[in-house]
Structure 1
Amino acid sequence: MTRKVVVRIAASFAAVIVLSSCRVDTNISLAVKPNGTGTISVVVTADKDIVTKAPDLKADIRTDDLVAAGWKIDGPSDTKDGGLTITMTHSFTGPAEATILMSQINGARGPLHEMVITRTGKDTNSTYTLAGRLEVNGGLQAFADDATLNLLGGAPYAADVQAAGLDLGDAISISFDAVLPGKVNTTTGQSADGVITWRVPMDGTPTSVATSVTNVDIASSISRVAKVLVLGLLIVWVLGSLVLIMMVLNARNKRSRTPRI
């Protein structure tokens, strides 16, 4: 069984993530097109300090199981400032598949919980609804799979973090973006330039992603109205032509029946 996407990569960073100067940023993005298809992407970036302290990190990242599960992998690649970044992307054919893919992002401890996207209405007038919550439970436990927790009896390096008095939020950031078609009706996120963004608290505080957007395909609606209008005009033109032809034929018949003197 494929390990959860975020857990799969974050586990590779666990050995150095607790160092005070290190940082890992994760962005999860859901992009939906007007027809309901789209992509889900996960971008994980480790800063230069992590790479310096763990020079073999790039070689240690394994993604074979993710590729086998249909995820496209870009990286790990070097960043301009000396860090590492890896992008994992998976396409979907509709909201139902997108919901399934979001459930593969992480385990039971977060950051995505009960995430569901649905679509109602017609192709030219549809409403998309995103529901669920963002929440990280158990600190570092959220970034370790069940097998690791059972083996070690707890999250790796959790004692080190507690002893050092480190704030997990200073070392890890997670954001969730949603690009949904249409006008935003309601959302709990920050909406700007067509992107709705949420920041995931690292202290276990739950954040709702309740969002609703309505997409009206004006071009298609106008096109359909135009087709009906053109068809109506065509019928009127044909009927008018038939009437004109009948009038001409009738006039000719009258002239042909008029006796010549």
Structure 2
Amino acid sequence: MDRVITRLVALLACAVALAACQLDVTVDVVVESDGTGQIAVTVLADQDVLDQVPTLVDDLVLDDVIEAGWSIDGPRAPDDGSGGLFLQMTHPFRSQGEATNLLQSLGPPFTQMELGRGTNGDITTNQLSGRLVLSGFDDFADADLVASVGGQPFADEIAASGATPADSFNVTLQALLPGVIKSEQTNVEPDANGILTWELPDNGSAALILAQSTQQPGEGQRWARPLSILALIALVAWVSFMTIFIGYVTVARFRRARAYKHRHLGEQ
């Protein structure tokens, strides 16, 4: 999947770095009880960014993001009236495989991202894993991005400014998994709302993402397993009955045929 979100965030981060301001990027992953869900990428920049880069909003090209299936809210002023820039991109997913593809398409600092889901008996397990790591602005570069602009965007200007990712933006990953969080398989504590949060380290090191939850059958679904067992028993009983019945009919026909044959021979 084309990393259109990576390119957008990279260009925003570079512009913010040159303006000596800060960008906040939050990725929210919400998984519903049936395994579907949504990923949202929210970008916030303060008014100083727009004051120093007044063409920033007009320079944002979102056509590729929309074409990749993301819904867009913004760019616009934040709802709190503080000024600045608000941009949110959301994408639904129908399976853990689709969610994994979307997470991997985000690119740096989100690496080795994976959302897993499996069922063993009555228990469904959800698992989120990956890393948050960014050693420098060069991590944003990919072949298409470099080719499209002729090199790493603003590379010389950023080098001259001495800006670093830690100075320029904050990155947060938040996840809400269904069921009960397994603390022994999760490396952060959920808040009061059950939300798990990881933040990008500001020293170039990696933050490991590990989370797991388990789901019991819902109260409204507890009838399903007993009913399926009853249905299986009924099916086995029906098959057994039909086997006996067919055997009985076959034997009866065979006996009638023999009796008819004997009577016919006796009359001769």
Structure-1-length-normalised TM-score: 0.75
SS of residue in 2 equivalent to 1:191: coil
SS of residue in 1 equivalent to 2:214: strand
1:131 to partner: Cα distance: 1.7
Q: From 167, 175, 195, give the equivalent of 2:172.
A: 175
1:189 to partner: Cα distance: 2.6
The AA in structure 1 aligned to 2:171 is: I
Could you tell me whether the CA contact under 8 Å between 2:4 and 2:64 is conserved in 1? no
Report the counterpart of residue 98 of structure 2 in structure 1.
Answer: 97
Q: How does 1:21-170 map to 2 (within 5 A)?
A: 22-79=21-78, 80-106=81-107, 110-121=108-119, 125-137=123-135, 139-149=136-146, 155-158=152-155, 160-161=157-158, 163-170=160-167
The number of aligned residues is: 225
Could you tell me whether the CA contact under 8 Å between 2:17 and 2:163 is conserved in 1? no
SS of residue in 1 equivalent to 2:203: coil
Q: Structure 2 vs 1, CA of residues 57 and 219 (structure 1 numbering), >3 Å: closer, same or farther?
A: same
Could you tell me whether the CA contact under 8 Å between 2:13 and 2:169 is conserved in 1? no
Could you tell me whether the CA contact under 8 Å between 2:174 and 2:195 is conserved in 1? yes
Report the counterpart of residue 260 of structure 2 in structure 1.
Answer: none
Distance (Å, rounded) in 2 between the aligned partners of 1:87 and 1:151: 24
Q: Structure 2 vs 1, CA of residues 216 and 93 (structure 1 numbering), >3 Å: closer, same or farther?
A: same
The AA in structure 2 aligned to 1:105 is: L
1:150 to partner: Cα distance: 6.1
Report the counterpart of residue 217 of structure 1 in structure 2.
Answer: 217
SS of residue in 2 equivalent to 1:209: strand
- What is the percentage of aligned positions where both structures have the same residue? 31
Could you tell me whether the CA contact under 8 Å between 2:134 and 2:165 is conserved in 1? no
Gaps of 5+ in 2: 229-268
Distance (Å, rounded) in 2 between the aligned partners of 1:25 and 1:156: 19
Distance (Å, rounded) in 2 between the aligned partners of 1:26 and 1:77: 15
1:63 to partner: Cα distance: 0.8
Q: Structure 2 vs 1, CA of residues 152 and 57 (structure 1 numbering), >3 Å: closer, same or farther?
A: closer
When structure 1 is superposed on structure 2, of 4-13 and 196-205 the one drifting more is: 4-13
Gaps of 5+ in 1: 229-261
Q: Structure 2 vs 1, CA of residues 142 and 44 (structure 1 numbering), >3 Å: closer, same or farther?
A: farther
Could you tell me whether the CA contact under 8 Å between 1:43 and 1:87 is conserved in 2? yes
1:146 to partner: Cα distance: 3.3
1:175 to partner: Cα distance: 0.5
Distance (Å, rounded) in 2 between the aligned partners of 1:123 and 1:78: 49
1:157 to partner: Cα distance: 4.4
SS of residue in 2 equivalent to 1:119: strand
1:205 is the counterpart of 2:209: no
1:200 to partner: Cα distance: 0.8
When structure 1 is superposed on structure 2, of 34-43 and 209-218 the one drifting more is: 209-218
Alignment RMSD: 2.9
1:177 to partner: Cα distance: 0.9
1:170 to partner: Cα distance: 2.9
CA deviations over 1:123-168 (Å, ceiling 9, x no partner) = 952011112211113x112344434546888644455555555453
1:67 to partner: Cα distance: 0.9
